[in-house]
Amino acid sequence: MIDPPGAAEQGTEIGIQRIMEMIPHRHPFLMIDKVVDVVANQRATGVKHLSKSEYYFQGHFPARPVMPGVLIIEAMAQTAAVLVVHTLGPESEGKLVYFMSVDNARFRRPIFPPTELEIHVTKQRNRGNVWKFEGRAKVGEDVMAEAVFAAMILDD
């Protein structure tokens, strides 16, 4: 298998304060704590430290907390939004990146707290303001969920 261009390139790390400058999401709906590897126009890896105190575990499910699948997909989307803003530069900071579609979503294993969730997003292509990505959520080396999704960045 041939590695895609930039596969060996070391990416930039982005902390939570910078993420909040880049995308408009806020607690309790900010689903990433940091991005540890972002390479413009190629890929990003987000990280979410899951604890039992996350608000959604109060009802999903109190006796055996499981991260909801839709929030795993949201974490992928937020990681992709950071990649889009990082690629386009400062003039795109704070703009909304809207979901357009989610395809081939697969939830392989449940995600239980406490754990560290890694969200790997790779850009497949973009045309104008529409971007398409492949996402994988991992705990350690185990793929927990994956999806292909599209999003659009809009001017205010």
Sheet holding 142-154, edge to edge: 12-14, 34-39, 43-50, 115-127, 130-139, 142-154, 96-107
Tell me the CATH architecture of domain 12-154: Roll (3.10)
pLDDT at 11: 83
So where are the chain's domains?
Answer: 12-154
pLDDT at 22: 94
Q: 61-102, pLDDT tens digit by residue? A: 999 999 999 999 999 999 999 999 999 998 898 888 899 999
Q: Phi and psi (nearest 5°) for 118?
A: -105, 135
CA 2 vs CA 5, 7, 8, 150: distances in Å: 9, 10, 12, 25
Catalytic residue (choose from 25, 27, 49, 60): 60
pLDDT at 156: 63
Q: 7-50, pLDDT tens digit by residue? A: 556 789 999 999 999 999 999 999 999 999 999 999 999 999 99
- The structure tokens listed for 41 are 């126009």
Whole-model pTM: value is 0.92
pLDDT at 10: 72
Q: Does the annotation count 60 as an active-site position?
A: yes
pLDDT at 51: 96
Q: Which is nearest to 138 in space by CA: 122, 121, 123, 119?
A: 119
